[in-house]
Amino acid sequence: MIGRLSGVLVEATEVAIIDVHGVGYEVHMTARDLSALPMGEPATVVIETVVREDMIRLFGFREAAGRDWFRLLQGVQGVGAKVALAVLNVLPPDALAAAIASGDRAAIARAPGVGKRVAERIATELRGKAPAMPAPLVVPDVATSPEDHHVADAISALTNLGYDEGLARSTVTALAKDQPEALASQLIKAGLKALAA
């Protein structure tokens, strides 16, 4: 099966057409990923090939995290490829992880084709199953007080969930100033809520 395509984006309507040495591959993508690809220039996308009795479709993602969430979502009853892509179109991988971690079913239900029951199943069944993100492991700076350890641990946790390190650091630092006695778990929970907003 096809796992990755490198070619030139030649068309971007409802689907992307990626020309690879004269062969145009039809690739279904989220609007966010598609808009980030440069028209007429080389591009590489991670591919998930979906095979059914009556068709073979390619779904493309700019990063492996999108593909991994796409796979996970399809493991939930009532979620097929079309709905999984719709969810990722509304919530990119980091926002989806935050919505699931915080139990924000309303955010998940914003996707077309996702009702309250399906959103509930996604939030429940995928809790704790976030795919590994290709983010670097954050090594906390040498801390001089327990509060510093809590901040460093919260930054590390958010970064390992896939959030940008600088964004996680500024968010947790601001939260720690407002709540100097907060434990790492409290900072993580508040950080997820702040980053999902």
Nearest to 81 by CA among 104, 51, 123, 37: 51
The CATH code of the domain that includes 155 is 1.10.8.10
For the segment 114-167, what is each residue's pLDDT rounded down to a tens digit?
999 999 999 989 987 766 544 443 444 434 444 567 788 788 777 777 777 778
d(CA 21, CA 96) in angstroms, rounded, equals 35
- Domain assignment present for residue 130? The answer is no
pLDDT digits (tens, 9 = 90+) for 77-115: 989 999 999 999 999 988 898 888 888 899 999 999 899
Global pTM reads 0.63
- Which amino acid, residue 4? R
Number of structural domains (the chain) is 3
- Residue pair 157/189 in contact (Cβ under 8 Å)? The answer is no
Q: Which residue, of 61, 79, 107, is where some domain finishes?
A: 61
Residue 96 lies in a domain: yes
Q: Which domain holds residue 55?
A: 4-61
Domain CATH code at residue 118: 1.10.150.20
Q: CB-side exposure of 28: number of CA atoms within 13 Å?
A: 17
Alpha helices in 41-92 (DSSP H): 64-74, 81-90
45 & 94 share domain? no
Looking at the chain, which runs of residues are DSSP E strands? 4-12, 16-20, 23-28, 42-52, 55-61
Element holding 170 (H helix, E strand)? helix 165-178
Judgement on whether residues 69 and 98 belong to the same structural domain of the protein: yes
